[in-house]
Amino acid sequence: MSIIDLRNINKIYNEKKAGTIALKNINLKIERGDFVAIMGSSGSGKSTLLNIIGCMDIPTEGEYYLDDRLVTKLSNKELSRIRNLKLSFIFQNFALMKNYNVYDNVELPLIYRNISNKEKKNKVITYLRKLGIEDKIKSKPMELSGGQQQRVAIARALVSDADIILADEPTGALDSKSGKDLMELITDINKQGKTIVIVTHDEKIASYCNKRIIIEDGNIK
C-alpha cells in the first residue's frame, strides 16, 4: 500500500518571471516500509522532491497523497500538524536551536505530544545513548563538533517515532565509522516498519536501501 503517492507533480520557481523548472511531471509511489534512496547530481531536483514529500514545499501543479490523504490543498496549520505527527526530518544543515542544549533540541518534537515527561525523557536518553552523545546532554550546539551536531539532529528526528523519516545527506558530516553506525541504526528502524527516504550521492549509503530513484534535470530516470 502506497504511503506516498505523487501524481503529475511539477515545480517551477519564479513562475511569473522566466521561471526555473525544478521538477517535471513526477509520478512516484513509495510503499509503506520502503527504504528509498533519491540520487542525482547537484541541481537535479532531488532536494526539491524531498521537500515536497515532506510538506515543506508545495508543487506548482499536480497532486500529492500522503497516506491516502490529499495534502496539496491543506492549510499551513494542517500541514504543520502532519509534519509533527507523520514526518520526521534529518536536515543536512542540522537546523538545531543554538540557545537550546542537546536534551532540549532532541525533545522538541515531543513537546506537544500527549505523553508524560518521564516518557519524553526516556525517549530522548535512549536515542542520545544509541548515537553515542549521551555525555553531551547539557551542551549547546556551538560546543559540539559538526559530527556531534549531526547526531543530535538525527536523534531529534528518530525520537518522534513518525511513520516516515526523510533525510538529506544524513552522513555528510560524519566520519566513515559513524556514518556506518548511523545507517545500521536507520536500517534497524526501517525493519521495524518505518518508511525511510534518503537523498544521497553516496553509493555506499544507497546500498542500504531497497529502492533507488534517480533524478536528472527534474525528471525521474
- Dump pLDDT digits (tens) for 22-54: 999 999 999 999 999 999 988 899 999 999 999
| Model confidence at 94: pLDDT above 80 | yes
Domain contains 1: no
Domain contains 66: no
Domain contains 14: no
The two beta strands, 2-13 and 20-31, are antiparallel
Domain contains 67: no
Domain contains 62: no
Q: In this structure, what CATH number is given to the domain that contains residue 168?
A: 3.40.50.300
DSSP 54-83: TTSS--SEEEEEETTEE-TT--HHHHHHHH
Domain count, the chain: 1
Q: What are the cell numbers at 8? A: 503529475
Domain contains 120: yes
Q: By residue range, what is the domain housing residue 82?
A: 34-57+75-214
Number of residues that this document lists for the chain? 221
Domain contains 16: no
Residue 85 pLDDT: 86
More confident residue, 92 or 74: 74
Q: Where are the alpha helices (DSSP H) in the chain?
A: 46-53, 76-85, 102-107, 117-130, 146-159, 176-191, 203-206
Residue 49: strand, helix, or coil: helix
| Model confidence at 67: pLDDT above 80 | yes
Strand partners, 218: none
Angle, helices 117-130/146-159, rounded to nearest 10 degrees: 140
